[in-house]
Structure 1
Amino acid sequence: MAKSDKKKLSKDERLNALGSVRRAKSALPKQKPEKPKSTGVAAPKFAELPGFKEIRLQKAAADLLQIKNPFFRAHDGRAGATTQIDGETYLNFSSYDYLGLNGHRKVQEAAKAAVDHYGISASASRVVAGERVIHTDLEQLIAQMHGVESSVAFVSGHATNVTSIGQLMQPEDLIVHDSYIHNSIVTGAKLSGAVRQSFPHNNLDALENILELRAHKHPRTLIVVEGVYSMDGDFPDLPRLVEIKKKYGAWLMIDEAHSIGILGKTGRGIAEHFQIDPTEVDIWMGTFSKTLAGCGGYIAGCSDLVDYLKLTASGFVFSVGIAPPIAAAVCEAVRLMKAEPHRVEAVQSNGKYFLDKAQAAGLDTGVSQGCAVVPIMVGDSLKATVLAARLLDRGLNALPIIYPAVPEKSARLRFFITSEHTEAQLDQAIELISDEISNYDSNPVSIQQVMSA
């Protein structure tokens, strides 16, 4: 085949030709990239979330009745047996500083000294760089208080239950809890994926029936109850619970958030109250935000339990360590509870006094046993909210507990009794409550009545 007769271009000619092509290409009109086609679907609105409409309706009803929101009231300073709101002094029954340690001089001094020594924050998860000597001191004191081998402190009481139960229990396990149990325990049970069933409040026959039918079908079973129920002021039969848990080979967990400081001769909780060996209970849980004048929570028990949670519980491993000033304050509160037993005696005496006086006045105190938490049952949520507003007008601060926190027909005013209240203050409270309930019952309020006015 003959070779091509085409003349080869020189290097300069090739470069000039390439430049001409590039200039011609750049002269072409530029095409804009196509915009992605809109699907026309708007993002969901937060106002469409479940329960939002009910919240708006409750606010509208309160506005119609000219009732200020009873929740999120800002106190001017420390809230004790009395408190200041907007510069006015009120009798206060809405704080669970059961032994009055939140304002104790030694507790405050311990926190201030810890600020000077450690700063404010632990600044890291304890697993990596947030461990401080005060954390070890705190956990030793909590273990000693409960009479068990070890304990671990968390930055949140709610998260303590969520993360511990969520880690300990597996999808093939069974969790059985009192129907009045705290939200944190239910949330932890859901997180674990375990089978969950409740039994009627303090009905241990029903608990045993559930275990007889189901416990043998699961590798692990956890029974969860509270030491004192924060909405009702009663407590379970611990000796019977220990018998049941042994019979069915279950773990027993007691949430002592509201029972430390108010049950037992020295305030060490429900085991001391019933004179039960605390090692008979597998898992002790408690919080620092009630009697112990701090914030956070803990799990106490055998060393294997604590070691496991310290290395696996996400709420501990992946969370900053408890703030050193809080840890120091709690340490001092634990020591003071032991050193000043008159505080425990006073809160127990005041609780019984208030309960007896309320019942003598014909007030419905539900199932309360007078251990620092006493509800005044009033029925519907509207009545509870109106009564709380009227009592505030007369110098008494007690919050309404309404639906959905409790069933609709179980609304109440909840009273936290402390060692700092005087009998005169308790008498005054009973008088005001009785007076306002009588006034309301003689002229009930309804939304329909207000709207038609």
Structure 2
Amino acid sequence: MTLLNETWNGKENKNVSLRNGTLQNLSNSSKTEVIEGWLIDKLSQILAIEPNQIDVSQDFDEFGLDSAEAINLSGELENYLGCRLSPTLLWDYKNIETLAKYLATNFKPVSSEETSVSLETEACQPNEVAEILPENYIFDRFPEYQKLRSQLERVSSLGKGNPFFVPQEKIVNDKTTVNGRELINFATYNYVGMCGDPVVSQAAKDATDLYGTSACASRLISGEKPLHKELEAEIADFIGVEDSIVMVGGHATNVTTIGHLFGKNDLVIYDSLSHNSILQGCFLSGASLVAFPHNDAAALAKILRERRHRYQRVLIAIEGVYSTDGDIADLPQFIALKKRYKAFLMVDEAHSMGTIGNSGRGISEYFGVNPRDVDIWMGTLSKSFASCGGYIAGDRALVEYLKYTAPGFVFSVGMSPPNTAATLAAVRVLKAEPERAVILQARAKLFLELARAKGLKTGMSKDSPVIPIIVGDSLKSIQLSQQLFQRGINVPFMIYPSVPQNEARLRFFVTCNHTEEQIRFTIDTVSEELAKL
């Protein structure tokens, strides 16, 4: 403890020692001793025990620190060393001994200019505070916000005001109402007409009467309702796996699941056109990341062949139907690769569940594969199932582990009773009425065939209700969307960065309730308006 007392003797001496380079000038073994001593001292204060009771080889988990204490300890250590550290250090290194050795070998203080704010905040003079730029503490000065405002003004100037957040005044299906005006609607993914279905709506009303509008707690504690287990069993049965778990948001389902199941010793390989929620989950996980060219199984095989042996767990993440282009993943090839290289396969079925397969059971039914050959099924409840939330389905062990440990589930309120009941009713209606999926597929096929017959560019779309009309030019895409609106057709545009440069488009979502007449009128109108541009 001698070196500790020389180096760490309160806040003032800490800053002096860092400025004088005390730790920098020590040998690695001495640095290790100093840092171990600092950690022992800090832990003894937090745990209210004597320093000699702390064993440097004891796992941090065994000290019983809560997450806030662990993060705060990392922050204090960052200040002490004068270098940037991860807030998850106490999870990344198992005990004081291994953490101290790592830091002694790798710590590198930042410059005095960089540490002046973080290390001397309490001693700052007024002129030092004044040097902080407004963009670092005022929201409307954020460069990112200024860029957003510029983009919105540019889009508004191209047409008739801001085209975003336009209120839809009634149930949206094949038609929508905007400012009292009815339009043919291709901007909703109410694919099989469950939103507004009397059976689904009544189920939500009944659940509200019985349970209220909220679960009012995490399901782990006291937010569990009988409906939750019924729904999870129904989803698992519909897909053909052992169990499922439902969460309150589709985007959050991907983020918390990927972020929780995989870590720094793992690899996630994802399709280059994967949804933002998959990417955010990857970033959260801390795993190594590699994107493979869209739907290219050969490229994926090469990555696995070269890299699989370097990692503990490997996840392959793909989608059933891709939400921007409307094409379908070649599932059998990905299953073969995941088996060969002993990896996990995750399929996001946000846009394929309810829409493809003979009875709408998704991509496994579409290809006729065993759904248990996929490790992690993910889907949203806001599309074919007319509700809000997401699910993970697979084997019982996966679901049980997530229910007790996934942060986005454990620390979140349970799915609301009306949303749960609406989803449950929608799944059961689709089971009883698979013809909804069949009609949807026929309508989507008609739309695609007519569009191609007119020479419209529909990209990679195939056998799905997601059909882009690729215009190329961003300005023309915005103008086309607005001209169609004037002619009674509601369809949104997609421009860079949502899609690559020169691939701006309109994206049409077809539903089972669209009529052949609506589709024929729409294709004719798109062709006419596009010719004018």
TM-score if structure 2 supplies the norm length? 0.75
Change (3 A) 1:203 1:432: same
**Deviation at residue 268 of structure 1 after TM alignment:** 0.5
1:372-391 equivalent positions in 2, closer than 5 A: 372-391=465-484
Higher relative helix content: 2
Alignment match, 1:85: 178
Partners of 1:171 and 1:117 lie apart in 2 by 45
Q: Which runs of 5+ in 1 are unaligned?
A: 1-34, 441-453
Q: Deviations over 1:332-390 (max 9, x none)?
A: 00000011122111100001100000000000000000410000001122211111111
Q: Deviations over 1:216-246 (max 9, x none)?
A: 1101100000000010111111111111111
Change (3 A) 1:147 1:63: closer
Partners of 1:361 and 1:42 lie apart in 2 by 55
Partners of 1:400 and 1:408 lie apart in 2 by 14
For 1:94, what is the secondary structure of its paired residue? Answer: coil
1:291 to 384, 396, 408: 384
* Identical-residue share of aligned pairs (%): 48
CA contact (8 A) 1:80 1:97 kept: yes
1:326-345 equivalent positions in 2, closer than 5 A: 326-345=419-438
**Deviation at residue 67 of structure 1 after TM alignment:** 2.5
For 2:481, what is the secondary structure of its paired residue? Answer: helix
Change (3 A) 1:63 1:233: closer
Alignment match, 1:145: 238
1:425-440 equivalent positions in 2, closer than 5 A: 425-440=518-533
Alignment match, 1:52: 145
Alignment match, 1:278: 371
CA contact (8 A) 1:167 1:192 kept: yes
Partners of 2:388 and 2:373 lie apart in 1 by 27
2:408 to 315, 318, 325: 315
1:97-116 equivalent positions in 2, closer than 5 A: 97-116=190-209
For 2:195, what is the secondary structure of its paired residue? Answer: helix
In the alignment, is residue 244 of structure 1 matched against residue 337 of structure 2?
yes
Change (3 A) 1:344 1:63: closer
2:446 to 353, 358, 372: 353
CA contact (8 A) 1:157 1:286 kept: yes
**Deviation at residue 438 of structure 1 after TM alignment:** 0.3
In the alignment, is residue 179 of structure 1 matched against residue 272 of structure 2?
yes
Alignment match, 1:29: none
1:435-446 equivalent positions in 2, closer than 5 A: 435-440=528-533
In the alignment, is residue 399 of structure 1 matched against residue 462 of structure 2?
no
- Paired amino acid for 1:293: A
Partners of 1:252 and 1:346 lie apart in 2 by 30
Partners of 1:284 and 1:250 lie apart in 2 by 15
Q: Deviations over 1:75-131 (max 9, x none)?
A: 111111011000001010000000001111100110000001000000000011101
Partners of 1:63 and 1:252 lie apart in 2 by 42
Partners of 1:207 and 1:159 lie apart in 2 by 26
Q: Which stretch of structure 1 is more off in the superposition, 51-60 or 250-259?
A: 51-60
- Paired amino acid for 1:434: S
CA RMSD of aligned residues (A): 1.4
Alignment match, 1:232: 325
Partners of 1:342 and 1:99 lie apart in 2 by 9
**Deviation at residue 425 of structure 1 after TM alignment:** 0.1
**Deviation at residue 187 of structure 1 after TM alignment:** 0.3
In the alignment, is residue 64 of structure 1 matched against residue 157 of structure 2?
yes
Aligned residues: 407
Alignment match, 1:217: 310
Alignment match, 2:126: 37
Instruction: Point out the structure with max Rg over C-alpha.
Output: 1
Alignment match, 1:134: 227
Partners of 1:345 and 1:63 lie apart in 2 by 40
Partners of 2:322 and 2:435 lie apart in 1 by 24
For 1:198, what is the secondary structure of its paired residue? Answer: strand
- Paired amino acid for 2:478: T
TM-score if structure 1 supplies the norm length? 0.88
For 1:265, what is the secondary structure of its paired residue? Answer: coil
In the alignment, is residue 122 of structure 1 matched against residue 219 of structure 2?
no
